Amino acid sequence: MLTLHPHPATPCAAVHSLQVTVERTEEGGLRLQYRLSGDLTQIRIPEPQTPVFADGLWEHTCFEAFIGVRGESGYHEFNFSPSGQWAAYTFSGYREIEGRKSSPGPSFFKGGELDRDSVGCCGVESGFPLCKRGIEGDLLLQVVIVTTDLPPNSGNNPFELGLTAVIETTSGEKSYWALQHPAARPDFHLRSGFTCQTASNGCF
């Protein structure tokens, strides 16, 4: 279990903890589970939407993953909204965007169980993730990124992950969460923030 931390410039009292687990799938993909614990009455959680690609998800509560290959400058960015919408982008270097991946999309889980009839997108399920509202409640989102949507890795080197989140409160304030914040201002694209490296059974 990995713990995300708010950037010192953007604290959020409504969030008590934000953790992520990372596992490799049998097929070589990545399974991510984000668990936010806190006062969900103070957090703006996007309402369910049609599970399609959408830009600008990071402008509201959104869970993210930045994935590169050790020794290579390129990386992919994935955005997962509690609404069920998602986005995926490819970069050749720091903020040097190459394009976006609009199909097929990642696989969302709902309540921890995979609904195999609702596969929509990065090979994301269309079910709305488990959301328990209230004080001391949990927001749980699980997603699988299939092998073909990960950065090319012909050398079979470890993947480097920057696991992040944007949390918006009901007052409209945003806090930025990551495993590590290398700069004075929040910047999820900095490679020095990709501090999780994959092993055969997850991250270390």
Domain count, the chain: 1
Which candidate, 111, 56, 99, places its Cα nearest to that of 81?
56
pTM for the model stands at: 0.87
Asked if residue 46 is part of any domain, the answer here is yes
From residue 99, alpha-carbon distances to 14, 62, 93, 123, 190 in Å are 35, 20, 12, 18, 19
pLDDT at 110: 42
pLDDT at 129: 43
Asked if residue 202 is part of any domain, the answer here is no
DSSP 81-128: -TTS-EEEEEEEETTEEEEE--SS--EE-BTTB--TT-B-S---BSSP
Query: Do strands 30-38 and 2-3 pair parallel, antiparallel, or not at all (unpaired)?
Result: unpaired
Asked if residue 51 is part of any domain, the answer here is yes
Asked if residue 13 is part of any domain, the answer here is yes
Residues of the chain falling short of pLDDT 70: 102-136, 199-204
pLDDT at 137: 80
CATH code of the domain in which 87 resides: 2.60.40
pLDDT at 168: 98
Contact 174, 188 (CB under 8 A): no
Asked if residue 203 is part of any domain, the answer here is no
pLDDT at 7: 99
pLDDT at 125: 41
Domain extent for 61: 2-197
Between CA 36 and CA 74 the distance in angstroms is 29
pLDDT at 138: 86
